[in-house]
């Protein structure tokens, strides 16, 4: 499940290209819509191959994202060869440009950094989703058999959860890149899981570790004059190593 985010971050490429074909615009809102649709479709296809095709989850993830990513590469090569779709933006992102990539009103008045506004709205939606439906999400994720026995639809909540993963990935990768999105989806949560098995504390610890990785990585990049995204992933890995050592020393 942790690698679904990785699959989504690669498989959204055809959605970006198709959105450009339909609208003829490179505006981020249409790219976001196209990539979001492909992200949700990716989660559906992975689950479909796993349940209906009787394929193991890891295999269905590998087949889905490689096929869709390859399709996106073909579309770009043959139909959008003269269009600048920056692979650095998609794969690596550029956090340093976030303050100057502004969102404007219809009258041309700058509201603020576009990535900050979009992700802030998404943060509110995710917090509402997790807090309001915590019981349903936790039961269907960790004990689907029990959830079905008491009448909770596991499929509905699975697709809702994966839909929010898709939206998070798509909304984030323009500014931070697909690689950093995958690292932040997995590393903070994995670090928190080493320290506690209580899901509520795990969520809080994961968020704290994510913030520390982001802030610490930024200052590390400033100090070393290196990649901001790379520094953030490095700090995230150091946090994981520290948590692992703490667990080992306890034993």
211 belongs to a structural domain: no
65 belongs to a structural domain: yes
Higher-pLDDT residue of 124 and 175 is 124
Residue 141: band (very low, low, confident or very high) from pLDDT cuts 50, 70, 90? confident
pLDDT at res. 92: 61
- pLDDT of residue 84 exceeding 60, the answer is no
67 belongs to a structural domain: yes
Lowest mean pLDDT among 157-161, 163-167, 219-223: 163-167
168 belongs to a structural domain: no
Mean pLDDT, residues 146-175 taken together:
82
pLDDT at res. 209: 97
CA count, 13 A, side-chain hemisphere, 62: 5
- pLDDT of residue 177 exceeding 80, the answer is no
> Domain tally for the chain?
1
76 belongs to a structural domain: yes
Lowest mean pLDDT among 123-137, 148-162, 216-230: 148-162
165 belongs to a structural domain: no
pLDDT at res. 93: 67
Residue 26: band (very low, low, confident or very high) from pLDDT cuts 50, 70, 90? low
Asked if 178 and 91 touch (Cβ cutoff 8 Å), the reply is: yes
Mean pLDDT of the chain: 83
234 belongs to a structural domain: no
Domain residues for the domain of 38 are 1-85
Residue 246: band (very low, low, confident or very high) from pLDDT cuts 50, 70, 90? very high
Higher-pLDDT residue of 177 and 214 is 214
Mean pLDDT, residues 83-92 taken together:
56
- pLDDT of residue 133 exceeding 80, the answer is yes
Lowest mean pLDDT among 114-118, 134-138, 234-238: 114-118
34 belongs to a structural domain: yes
pLDDT at res. 27: 61
């Amino acid at each position: 499940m942790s690698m679904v985010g990785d699959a989504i971050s690669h498989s959204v490429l055809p959605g970006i290209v198709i959105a450009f074909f339909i609208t003829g615009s490179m505006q981020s809102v249409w790219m976001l819509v196209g990539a979001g649709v492909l992200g949700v479709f990716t989660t559906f296809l992975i689950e479909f191959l796993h349940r209906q095709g009787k394929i193991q989850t890891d295999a269905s993830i590998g087949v889905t994202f490689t096929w869709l990513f390859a399709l996106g590469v073909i579309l770009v090569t043959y139909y959008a060869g003269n269009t600048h779709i920056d692979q650095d933006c998609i794969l690596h992102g550029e956090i340093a440009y976030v303050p100057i990539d502004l969102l404007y009103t219809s009258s041309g008045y700058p509201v603020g950094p576009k990535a900050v506004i979009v992700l802030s709205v998404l943060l509110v939606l995710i917090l509402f989703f997790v807090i309001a439906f915590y019981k349903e999400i936790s039961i269907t994720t960790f004990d689907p058999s029990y959830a079905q026995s008491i009448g909770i639809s596991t499929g509905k909540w699975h697709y809702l959860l994966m839909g929010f993963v898709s939206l998070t990935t798509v909304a984030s990768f323009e500014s931070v890149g697909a690689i950093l999105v995958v690292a932040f989806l997995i590393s903070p949560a994995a670090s928190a899981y080493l320290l506690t098995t209580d899901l509520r504390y795990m969520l809080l610890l994961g968020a704290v570790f994510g913030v520390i990785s982001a802030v610490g990585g930024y200052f590390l990049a400033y100090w070393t004059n290196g990649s901001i995204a790379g520094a953030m992933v490095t700090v995230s890995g150091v946090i994981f190593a520290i948590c692992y050592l703490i667990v080992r020393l306890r034993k």
